[in-house]
Amino acid sequence: MSLSPARLDRFARHIVIPEIGGAGQVALADKHIAIIGLGGIGSPALQYLAASGIGRLTLIDDDVVDVSNLQRQTIFTTRDVGHGKATSARRWLANFDEALDVEISDSRISADNAGRLIEGADLVLDGTDNFATRLAVSDACVAERTPLLSAAVGRFQGQVGAFAGHLADQPCYRCFVGDAFDAEDCDTCADDGMLGAMAGWVGSFAAMQAVRILLQGVSAFGEPQFGKLHILDGMKPGMRTLNIAKDEACKGCGVPR
């Protein structure tokens, strides 16, 4: 695969970075990422993932745009209010870069359809707002042998973790949170408010980590950081990193007994 002169111009600032280079940019053009949730995290992440030249995107969200979303969900405008987020996001992408291959789904993702919706993706970015969905996505990623970036944000705090539970020595998201949140009464997270710029920080950081994972073995951008959870603190501001251990008894990725 090669890049056209127009694409070379568009991504010139990537190509001149030794850690990305021409080989890295060509690799990104051949990658497929599924973004689940187009809200506070998925919205800014999508902008930078599209800008990075990832060739194929699958966008999954069953929600519609509300005026209260506009404070942090930066791909949407007042004209999008009342329209589906997935459809509106695809329209934004068409205006931004018509060369991208975009698929959308406005179905609510669940344990029943998660595997089908992420099938064929090189990476899944989960920015949903409830544990039951996150666990269903994590289990599907393990089954499909697909790396997962899981990101969350609230008030002035955020976290981004990379998981590869399909690998024998790596944890999945379920190893991190356990099984309790599968229950229906744990289906939603408390809505405590959010600084809009905090969502932007977490979403753009998740996009950077996504590029890092997708370029594993192609460029010198660094290790994919599987099993590491980065916690972003907007009040300090600062960041710290935790290591997540694989749970051998995990029902999502543990060794069958």
The CA angle 78-32-41, to the nearest 5 degrees, is 40
Sign of CA dihedral 93, 62, 74, 77: positive
How far apart, in whole angstroms, are the C-alpha atoms of residue 60 and residue 63? 9
DSSP per residue, 134-151: HHHHHHHHHHHT--EEEE
Instruction: List residues with catalytic annotation.
Output: 189
Q: Which two tokens stand for residue 106?
A: 């406005």
**Distances 24 to 20, 27, 200, 217, 239 between C-alpha atoms, Å:** 5, 5, 25, 10, 27
By residue count, the chain amounts to: 257
How far apart, in whole angstroms, are the C-alpha atoms of residue 46 and residue 113? 22
